[in-house]
Amino acid sequence: MKLVSDQSIITYLQKFNQYPFEVRLHGTSYLIGGGHPVFTVSMKEDINTRDLMTSTSLALGEAYMKGTLDIEGDLFQALDHFMGQMAAFTADQKKLKGLIFTSLSKKNQEKEVASHYDIGNDFYSLWLDDTMSYSCGYFKTDQDTLYEAQCNKVERILKKLYLKEGMTLLDIGCGWGYLLIRAATEYGVKSVGITLSMEQKKEFENRIEILGLTDRIKVELMDYRDLPQYGKTFDRVVSVGMVEHVGRENYDLFIKSAESVLVPGGLFLLHFISALKEYPGDPWMKKYIFPGGMVPSLREMINLLSDHQFYTLDVESLRRHYYKTLRHWDQNFNKNRDQIEKKMGTEFVRMWDLYLNACAATFHNGIIDLHQILLSKGIHNDLPLTRWY
């Protein structure tokens, strides 16, 4: 028995008519928008319009993952089309409350982090670059490789931090550790990295051992909330792509925790995915990719930082750089698609490909941004008068 009529689905999809595309359903083709279609949405099964109304991204995303909906044409181009019309998406927050607003307890957030970052270092190594950097690169030129862009990004951050030999540096959410390795080898800095990912810690410690940096770098399996009891202070603190896992109600606690271990006059660089306004997040992304993920707005983060006497020294948007980074990641992913599919399964591969392309499309359309904020704890009068990076 059919759940809904073909026409009800087509009527719903006609909201996305800014550019022409074709929908093929039960042997019949429908044109959405005017002109020659740039891609085709092939629907092998009906989607209940009640599901579309509950969450557009969940209904369409799950159908794509399962293969009951396919895109004939370029997946990124199709997603760029839909993401450019996000105002037409629907999400019933009341029905999705348990999915969108998850527990902020330490135990639950550790579980959420592990669900994404502990799925295997071998998996991530197949599509990240050799630095194993899982955050926005910095492209000095259009010809830069992904590896060059990630090296550029780390170099830019370290220069912003105005490091000097003998300083101490804390990385909150250190990933696989490339930033701290560069800080140690190029600036003579002693550092600590903290993470909730067992897999990242294991690989980072292996790198430290191989490079002979055990006297300069230490990695801890630690929640940021435990920093006030850590018993150490640092000249510099950096956090790259971690605050998005904290949750809106805990932003203030995150900043307070960073403040507690930073010396007076010390510098703090916060690198994070941002938004123009305070949104609760996308249901599909929260269910399948980043459980508990929440993107802060730039204005709320600046406001909270000011409450803790952090002085803003520099703000930079890297939105277009993240778009390019994601395009590189997806290209690498699809080069190794067969190998990944053999290991992770077809549905996972379709899900991850959708994730990388959807993120690229949201950055391309300015739905989300990437900001680096450089701050000082209290007044810092020893920096150069002009930008030093």
Question: So which residues are the catalytic ones?
Answer: 359
Question: What is the C-alpha to C-alpha distance for residues 210 and 207, in angstroms, rounded to an integer?
Answer: 5
Cβ–Cβ < 8 Å for 189, 167:
yes
| HEC assignment per residue over the chain | CCCCCHHHHHHHHCCCCCCCEEEEECCEEEEECCCCCCCEEEECCCCCHHHHHHEHHHHHHHHHHHCCEEEECCHHHHHHHHHCCHHHCCECCCCCHHHHCCCCCHHHHHHHHHHHHCCCHHHHHCCCCCCCCCCCCCCCCCCCCHHHHHHHHHHHHHHHCCCCCCCEEEEECCCCCHHHHHHHHHHCCEEEEEECCHHHHHHHHHHHHHHCCCCCEEEEECCHHHHHHCCCCEEEEEEECCHHHCCHHHHHHHHHHHHHCEEEEEEEEEEEEEECCCCCCCHHHHHHCCCCCCCCEHHHHHHHHHHCCEEEEEEEECHHHHHHHHHHHHHHHHHCHHHHHHHHCHHHHHHHHHHHHHHHHHHHCCCCEEEEEEEEECCCCCCCCCCCC
Whole-angstrom distance, CA of residue 313 vs CA of residue 373: 8
Nearest to 112 by CA among 249, 231, 276, 285: 285
C-alpha 324/C-alpha 136 separation (Å) is: 9
Determine how many CB atoms are found less than 10 A away from the CB of residue 201.
21
* Orientation angle between helical segments 146-160 and 319-335, nearest 10 degrees: 140
